[in-house]
């Protein structure tokens, strides 16, 4: 995971006040031990175990204001931001300093007055811990004296973390026992497929696949995004009686299918199955509120920073359907099946066990082949439910992406206020027409919404 980074593009609703932002970054990040630390190897050996070592942070080393061509900015500011974010993939970070940096682009685009691009190494945090950073560092636009209101956390719909309540009666008892039998069976099957994926089971070669079999990522990367209406997604959810995640997975499957079958070079006409690595947060659903409270009380060291993730191998069916809602219904069926499994817990514990028993090379083997033998990464994070400001600068959108995995496609959904931002991290050698794929996401959502309206 050494080369795995997160890139977050943040749109601001005002021009940059660099001194205020710099002071805010220095004040906020100084509270987080991991943002003041570097990774060092025990005994000075590259192959030794890694540990965190605290260092003195000079904020100026982590703030970058690039000199960009004003003619290019005037011609197409959106393209300049996209090109600049893509260029970060080829620029190494100095491992002698904490691996995070802010890039400030002070010119207007179609969605923002100015833009901040945050690049951070994935070892500093996963989606939940970084969203905790956003909540603890930002303030509500409606009332700048208070923290943003916490988003409503999703309810668990299956017995993943707690036992099912036992009801009275013989039939109820049999149902209770059967639920645990199903849980054990699904877990056993899923863990077996996970092990097979790590060892030998590889997705079929398609136009979504990388050009070689190496686990090394491609330096050619683009980060593109579009906004969807959260109300539209909830409308589809209520029409079909499913969850927001079901809608997002179904729409992704529809977009990939739309893109695949339109390209003339794709000769496979029957349905194909592409598998995605889906990271799952293993913290309690109340952890976001708990962590923000700890930070506000001065106990940021007690926050669960870093990565607390399990992994699911999630199939995406690339096929054509006359009814767009079939994609969502199939996604619901797949996710309901995954909820009746402890796959994410076992994959996390197995990876940790191998890392402790056999060292970093064994851990690298598991992660490298898990990513290399699947076709894409899929993730989503719940963001602020109301407009927020960062150091006095109102935020218009948040678009996180990632690079450093061998897959040619990473799909990430993030909610903010009444929108959901779809961010695609794309290998533009595999997807030279990546803007068309982004349009396919928009079209697929539109067709699914129209079909849901017909209900």
Beta pairing partners, 116: 10, 104
Give me the phi and psi of 218, to 5 degrees please.
-85, 135
Cα distance between residue 45 and residue 442, in whole Å: 49
Give the contacts of 265 (CB within 8 A, at least 6 positions apart). 207
Long-range residue pairs from 446-452, CB within 8 A, at least 24 positions apart, any chain: 447/254, 447/324, 448/236, 448/247, 448/250, 448/251, 448/254, 448/324, 448/325, 448/327, 448/328, 449/232, 449/235, 449/236, 450/324, 451/323, 451/324, 451/325, 452/235, 452/236, 452/239, 452/240, 452/325
Helix axes 287-296, 127-137, angle to 10 degrees: 40
Please pick, among 62, 103, 121, 122, the residue that the annotation labels catalytic.
122
Cα distance between residue 444 and residue 261, in whole Å: 13
Contact criterion met (CB below 8 Å) for 306 and 123: yes
Give me the phi and psi of 96, to 5 degrees please.
-80, -5
122 is catalytic: yes
Contact criterion met (CB below 8 Å) for 300 and 33: yes
Cα distance between residue 223 and residue 217, in whole Å: 15
The SS3 assignment for 13 reads: coil
Sheet of strand 419-426, all strands in order from the earlier edge strand to the far edge: 222-229, 419-426, 409-416, 376-381, 272-281, 309-318
Give the contacts of 197 (CB within 8 A, at least 6 positions apart). 275, 313, 369, 370, 373, 374
Contact criterion met (CB below 8 Å) for 303 and 290: no
Sign of CA dihedral 388, 390, 394, 400: negative
Helix axes 244-262, 230-240, angle to 10 degrees: 100
Residue 177 burial (CB count, 10 A): 11
Sign of CA dihedral 215, 216, 219, 224: positive
Cα distance between residue 396 and residue 417, in whole Å: 10
Q: What angle do CA 216, 5, 302 make, to 5 degrees?
A: 130
Catalytically annotated residues: 122
């Amino acid at each position: 995971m050494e080369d795995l980074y997160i890139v977050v593009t943040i749109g601001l609703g005002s021009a940059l006040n660099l001194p205020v932002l710099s002071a805010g970054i220095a004040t906020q990040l100084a509270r987080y031990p991991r943002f003041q630390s570097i990774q060092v190897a025990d005994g000075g050996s590259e192959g030794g175990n890694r540990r965190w070592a605290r260092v003195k942070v000079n904020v100026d080393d982590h703030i970058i204001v690039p000199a960009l061509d004003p003619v290019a900015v005037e011609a197409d500011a959106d393209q300049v931001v996209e090109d600049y974010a893509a260029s970060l993939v080829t620029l190494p970070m100095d491992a002698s300093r904490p691996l995070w940096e802010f890039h400030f682009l002070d010119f207007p685009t179609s969605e923002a007055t100015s833009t901040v691009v945050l690049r951070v190494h994935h070892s500093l945090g996963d989606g939940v811990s970084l969203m905790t950073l956003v909540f603890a560092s930002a303030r509500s636009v409606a009332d700048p004296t208070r923290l943003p209101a916490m988003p409503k956390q999703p309810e668990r719909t299956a017995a993943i973390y707690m036992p099912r309540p036992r009801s009275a009666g013989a039939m109820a008892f049999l149902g209770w026992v059967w639920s645990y039998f199903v849980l054990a069976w699904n877990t056993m099957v899923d863990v077996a497929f996970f092990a097979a994926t790590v060892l030998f089971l590889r997705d079929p070669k398609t136009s979504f696949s990388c050009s070689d079999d190496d686990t090394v990522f491609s330096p050619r990367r683009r980060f593109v995004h579009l906004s969807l209406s959260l109300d539209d997604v909830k409308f589809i959810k209520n029409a079909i009686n499913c969850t927001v995640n079901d809608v997002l997975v179904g729409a992704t499957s529809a977009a990939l299918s739309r893109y695949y079958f339109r390209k003339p070079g794709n000769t496979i006409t029957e349905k194909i199955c592409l598998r995605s690595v889906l990271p799952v947060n293993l913290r309690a659903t109340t952890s976001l509120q708990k962590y923000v409270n700890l930070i506000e009380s001065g106990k940021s060291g007690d926050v669960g920073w870093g990565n607390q993730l399990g992994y699911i191998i999630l199939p995406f069916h690339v096929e054509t359907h006359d009814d767009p809602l079939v994609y969502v219904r199939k996604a619901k069926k797949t996710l309901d099946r995954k909820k009746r499994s402890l796959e994410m817990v076992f994959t996390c514990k197995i990876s940790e066990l191998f890392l402790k028993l056999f060292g970093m090379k064994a851990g690298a083997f598991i992660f490298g082949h898990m990513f290399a033998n699947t076709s894409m990464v899929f993730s989503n994070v719940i963001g602020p439910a109301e407009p927020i400001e960062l150091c006095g600068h109102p935020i218009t959108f948040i678009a996180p992406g990632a690079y450093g995995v061998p897959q040619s496609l990473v799909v990430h959904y993030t909610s903010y206020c009444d929108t959901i931002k779809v961010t695609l991290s794309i290998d533009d050698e595999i997807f030279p027409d990546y803007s068309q794929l982004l349009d396919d996401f928009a079209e697929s959502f539109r067709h699914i919404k129209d079909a849901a309206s017909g209900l």
